[in-house]
Amino acid sequence: MLISSAFAQTAPAAAAEAGLMGSLTSMLPLVLMFVVLYFIMIRPQMKRQKEHRAMIDALAKGDEVATAGGLLGKVAGLSEGYLQLEIAPGVQVQVQRSAVAQVLPKGTVK
């Protein structure tokens, strides 16, 4: 039952260091999960949004497109947020630019 006074005085300091390390190691899985989530989900989604925005900005009159709703047609006119889509000869509908899902190769829509 002999405890040196030096050991007894350093015990609280050692416990405080262990508490700090314990809190850091308990937060490590949370930080790792966020990093994995960023590289697996967030970053690819941001890349797809950037590509879609570039595609929409590059639309020109005469391009053949497919909308998110399934309409196929030629771009007959462009404005700031909308475009005129000719889905049949003489039939034009107005859709939002963001509704364009993809630009089709020339000759797809007849």
| φ, ψ at 60 (rounded to 5°) | -135, 160
The CA distances from residue 108 to 11, 40, 72, 90, 105, in Å, are 78, 34, 9, 18, 6
On the question of pLDDT at 76 being above 70, the answer is yes
Residue 74 tokens, joined: 């030629």
Contact indicator for 59, 98 with CB cutoff of 8 Å: no
Greater confidence (19 vs 10) lies with 19
Q: How confident is the model at residue 22 (pLDDT cuts 50, 70, 90)?
A: confident
- Say whether both 26 and 49 belong to one domain: yes
- Say whether both 1 and 54 belong to one domain: yes
Q: What is the mean pLDDT of residues 80-109?
A: 94
DSSP 8-state symbol, 17: H
- Say whether both 46 and 68 belong to one domain: no
Is 109 contained in some domain?
no
> What percent of the chain is predicted at pLDDT more than 70?
83
The reported pTM is: 0.67
What is the rounded distance in angstroms from the CA atom of residue 41 to the CA atom of residue 28?
20
On the question of pLDDT at 14 being above 60, the answer is no
Is 45 contained in some domain?
yes
Number of domains in the chain: 2
